[in-house]
Amino acid sequence: MPQIPIDAQQEIIKRIKKLMLLMDLSQSAFSGKLGISPANMSKHLSGRLPITFGLVNRICLDLGVSRQWLMSGEDVPFGKSEPHTSLNLSEKIETSRRRGVPLYDIDVTAGFGPLERQLTEDRISGYIDLPGLTGSNECMVRVSGNSMEPQIPNGSYIAIREVASDNILWGKTYVVVMEDFRMVKQIRRHPDPSIVILHSNNPEYDDMEIRRDEIRRLYIVDSVINYTTA
């Protein structure tokens, strides 16, 4: 397995520390965004654990960071210089429509920020060509967690498509993208029109109330497939 040279790792460490400053995140909070333990992140930043390509990919995909900037210092931290990141969801899916709906190796509930930046060709693990899964602008992503069971079991794949956040169909299930996190929830009407209720099917989870203007992107869930790879 190829490794990043030691001198390059030191430069990447500097840029990771700069990234935490830009995002106004403590080391612990930054680790949480990536699903990495603070202890291991501390070891990465001190040189006790190597900076791997896997860690670089995780930072770029989960946080929307420019890979070119993180690896070499060129570009800007949140630039969009790579051609595939400049395409919108419709354009990306249109290029592969004849092969079926693209299946992305992405956990939609992990990370935060624009989902668009993770829907890149290198993350496509296959295509699903089944009746009902050829709708406009659809793609498939993985869901972890049990908050939406039994409707959406842990590890299922969901077919999603982006919709306008001001045109919510009450009672439908959506991927809700906010500034700090993403989640899959049923959206219910609130007496206050400026607020919506995020409902989990699992009764062990309480409902959440959020302001409508906190929603950055919204993707309706069209289908659920309990799909696992070998």
Sheet with strand 208-211: strands edge to edge: 124-128, 101-107, 139-142, 157-163, 217-225, 173-177, 182-189, 195-199, 208-211
Tokens of 98: 């004849």
pLDDT band at 74 (very low <50, low <70, confident <90, very high): confident
Q: State how far the Cα of 123 lies from the Cα of 93, in Å rounded to an integer.
A: 13
CATH code 1.10.260.40 for 6-72? yes
**Block residue for tokens 């900076």:** 51
Instruction: Answer whether residue 68 shows pLDDT above 70.
Output: yes
Name the burial class of residue 179, with classes exposed (0-12), middle (13-18) and buried (19+) by CB atoms within 10 angstroms of its CB: exposed
SS3 state at 70 = helix
**Block residue for tokens 């668009």:** 116
Instruction: Spell 22-38 as b/e; 16+ CB within 10 A means b.
Output: eeeeeeeebbebbebee
For domain 87-225, the CATH class is: mainly beta
| 6-72 and 87-225 in the same fold | no
In sequence order, which ranges of 26-167 are alpha helices (DSSP H)?
A: 27-34, 38-46, 53-63, 67-72, 89-94
Q: State how far the Cα of 15 lies from the Cα of 63, in Å rounded to an integer.
A: 14
Domain boundaries, the chain: 6-72, 87-225
pLDDT digits (tens, 9 = 90+) for 163-202: 888 889 999 999 998 887 889 999 999 999 999 999 999 9
pTM above 0.85, yes or no: no
pLDDT digits (tens, 9 = 90+) for 106-142: 888 766 556 777 777 667 777 777 666 655 578 888 8
